[in-house]
A and B are shown apart, each in its own frame.
Chain A
Amino acid sequence: EPEVTQTPSHQVTQMGQEVILRCVPISNHLYFYWYRQILGQKVEFLVSFYNNEISEKSEIFDDQFSVERPDGSNFTLKIRSTKLEDSAMYFCASSQMNSNQPQHFGDGTRLSIL
């Protein structure tokens, strides 16, 4: 069964540094998403992406964050000038069609800001 893959599995970064999290969505999926889960808490929506542009973003997704699809397979989340409170598990998800279709999650990247 095709899966969403994410790299790295764990990223440790100094506060103030930039970090890029990478995702390869399922190949025939058209909608891509990033979510965040702080340890022990619920999953929170960050941003959705379709047709090479942001479709929707939450209040969490401020100017510190950006997303990009640099080629035909990768989907990246960049966090500029990381803060301690950015420490969380970041999940990428993809769906074949729009939001009323199942979203399949990757294994996540655990981001630790020191």
Chain B
Amino acid sequence: GENVEQHPSTLSVQEGDSAVIKCTYSDSASNYFPWYKQELGKRPQLIIDIRSNVGEKKDQRIAVTLNKTAKHFSLHITETQPEDSAVYFCAASGAGGGADGLTFGKGTHLIIQP
């Protein structure tokens, strides 16, 4: 089955700086890669996603890049703000077709230092 590795486990950046979180996946048939933000005690919230026919996608301060050949994808947050502090999870799916479940990474605890 699919395996998703995520790094780093904790990332501390100064407010206003950029943050980058990286994930790799094992199943080359996976074709959908969402990113979720989870605040303490809350639901995972989808913040951006990318499909395998696209190399990059941007939404305001958030961007995701995908390298299918290397089987890795990254989340980039620019001009970080205190409200960006949360745990971020990458995920992959689509290898089996149909109603595939998401395979999540272990999460990155992003800390924005004021």
A46 to B100, CA, bound (A): 11
State A98–B97 Cα separation when bound (angstroms): 8
Describe A's contact surface by its main secondary structure: strand
How many angstroms from the CA of A101 to the CA of B106 in the assembled complex?
Answer: 22
Chain A residue nearest to B96 in the complex (CB) = A56
Cβ B101 vs Cβ A42 within 8 A: no
A5-52 at interface with B (beta carbon < 8 Å): 31, 33, 35, 41-50
What 1/0 flags go to B1-42 for Cβ under 8 Å of A? 000000000000000000000000000000110101000001
Residues B100 and A99 in contact, CB atoms below 8 Å apart: yes
Name which residue of chain A comes closest to B34, CB basis: A102
A84 to B92: give the CA distance in the assembly, Å: 29
Q: A42 near B43 (CB under 8 angstroms)?
A: no
**Residues of A contacting B93 in the complex (Cβ-Cβ under 8 angstroms):** 99-100
Q: How many residues of B contact A (CB 8 A)?
A: 27
Q: Which of B45, B101, B103, B105 contacts A47 (CB 8 A)?
A: B101
**Size of interface on A: residues with Cβ below 8 Å to B:** 28
A-B contact count (CB 8 A): 77
Is B43 within 8 A of A105, CB to CB?
yes
Instruction: Count chain B CB atoms within 10 A of each CB in A99, A105, A107, A108 and give the residue with the most.
Output: A99
The minimal Cβ–Cβ distance linking A100 to chain B, given in whole angstroms, is: 4
B43 touches A107 (CB 8 A): yes
Set A43, A55, A103, A107: member contacting B89, Cβ < 8 A: A43
- Let me know if B94 and A100 touch, CB within 8 A: yes
Contacts of B49 in A (CB 8 A): 102
Which residues of chain B are near A101, meaning CB under 8 Å?
A: 32
6 interchain residue pairs of minimum CB distance: A45-B101, A99-B100, A55-B99, A48-B99, A100-B32, A105-B43
B: which residues have CB within 8 A of A? 31-32, 34, 36, 42-46, 49, 51, 89, 91, 93-94, 96-107
